[in-house]
Amino acid sequence: MSFINYSSREINCKIVYYGPGLCGKTTNLQYIYNKTSPTAKGKMISLATETERTLFFDFLPLSLGEIRGFKTRFHLYTVPGQVFYDASRKLILKGVDGVVFVADSQIERMEANQESLDNLRDNLKEQCYDIEKIPLVLQYNKRDLPNAAPVEDLSRMLNYLARPEFLATATSGFGVFDTLKEVAKLVLQELRKGTR
């Protein structure tokens, strides 16, 4: 749920990176953080376990500039991907404006991708969102790995809603900003409709 502040002329939107464990959600945010100028970003927060697995969420505030005199701010969050952190995932989806679903391209993670996407749909529904209506972008990550599944297979399995999809290698940054730009655009287009 975006927050429009007429007083400070700001608009804040929340984007959540969702996906199975170890698919690269945190790596996406880390890359964005490392490549964004200090003036456009705030501190990145990672609430992680000692083994650097996301425990609750990662958070990165970004300023994108102005639209019609309003400062446009995006708050990027990741969810913990591991199956047993479902209660935390539900909390982080509260007030979401747009979702990036990060899929792990490795063939052996196909089932985990599918399960996580189903989980996203269910958790959105619990927050009274409809996966068919919310701005959603898919990212097929880890394209550099030799066991990456063909894009057509990933697309057929996961992109049944025909949303924008991007190939990525988050460790090198390939596809990371393209994904972010697309979801940000979709969120702003949704705001234009003013129906949210």
Partner 1 sequence: MVSQMVMYDEESRRITSVCERLGREANARAVFVIDKNGQLIASSGDTEHLDSTSLASLVAGEIAATGGLAKLMGEKEFSTLFHEGAKDHLHISVVASRVILVVIFDSRSSLGLVRLRVKKCSEELTQIFEQLMKRSEASGQQSPFAEITDEDIDKLFSV
Name the residues that contact partner 1, by CB under 8 A. Answer: 1-8, 11-12, 14, 42-43, 45, 47, 56-57, 59, 61, 64-65, 67-68, 70, 72, 75, 87-88, 90-92, 94-95, 127-129, 181, 184-185, 188-189, 191-194, 196
Choose between 149 and 183: whose C-beta lies nearer to partner 1: 183
190: left (phi over 0), alpha (psi -120 to 50) or beta: alpha
Residue 167 identity (one-letter amino acid): L
Choose between 45 and 107: whose C-beta lies nearer to partner 1: 45
CB 4 to partner 1: min, Å: 5
Choose between 32 and 103: whose C-beta lies nearer to partner 1: 32
CB 6 to partner 1: min, Å: 5
Query: For 17, how many CA atoms within 13 A lie in the half-sphere containing its CB?
Result: 34
Q: Estimate the crossing angle of helix 110-126 against helix 151-158, to 10 degrees.
A: 30
CB 40 to partner 1: min, Å: 9
Choose between 133 and 156: whose C-beta lies nearer to partner 1: 133
Query: Cβ distance 79 to 17 under 8 Å?
Result: yes
- Alpha-carbon gap, residue 65 to 63, rounded angstroms: 6
Choose between 21 and 61: whose C-beta lies nearer to partner 1: 61
CB 71 to partner 1: min, Å: 11
State the DSSP H helix or E strand holding residue 58, giving kind and residue range, or none if neither: strand 54-67
**Which residues, other chains included, contact 51 with Cβ-Cβ below 8 Å and sequence gap of 6+?**
none
CB 46 to partner 1: min, Å: 11
Q: Which residue has the tokens 């502040």?
A: 5
